Each structure stands twice: as structure tokens, then as C-alpha cells.
Amino acid sequence: MPMDIRVGDLLTMKKKHPCGADRWLVLRSGMDFRLRCLGCGRELLLPRAKAEKGIKKVERGTP
């Protein structure tokens, strides 16, 4: 069963981005996630299965 992750949520990941940040903003969710690094602003598209394995914590964004 997929996790309930919505646009606007903040994700804390297990591994850090090369810039040193480990928090990401969800810009799009579906089969893939479009995430924006809160450290450097870089955006990436990550398959749902890979992203869900790396999530440590989910913080709800605006309802």
C-alpha cells in the first residue's frame, strides 16, 4: 500500500543531498515524485518506490 504523500508535504530523507540538506518539498505526487531540495533548490523526479524507501519522516504541508 503506497504512503499518503501529498503536494506541499515536507519529507525528511534518510540520505542527505550532496548540498548537505535532507529535507525536500513535494511538488508533484503520483507514480513519480517531483521533489525540491530545501537546501539548494534543485528539483528531481524520483520513482515512487525508490522515494518511499528513503523517507524517514513526513510533515504535512498546507491542507
| Domain assignment of residue 1, yes or no | no
Please give the average per-residue pLDDT across 27-49, as a whole number: 95
Of 6-15, 32-41, 54-63, least confident by mean pLDDT is 54-63
| Domain assignment of residue 2, yes or no | no
- Domain range holding 49? 10-59
| Domain assignment of residue 19, yes or no | yes
| Domain assignment of residue 25, yes or no | yes
**Grid coordinates standing for 47?**
520513482
| Domain assignment of residue 15, yes or no | yes
| Domain assignment of residue 4, yes or no | no
Quickly state the pLDDT bin for 46 (edges 50, 70, 90).
very high
Tell me the whole-structure pTM to 2 decimals: 0.88
| Domain assignment of residue 36, yes or no | yes
Closest CA to 1 of 52, 45, 50: 52
Q: For residue 5, what pLDDT is reported? A: 93
Distance of CA 51 to the CA centre of its chain: 7
Number of separate domains in the chain: 1
CA 2 to each of CA 37, 42, 43: distance values in angstroms, whole numbers, following the listed order: 22, 25, 22
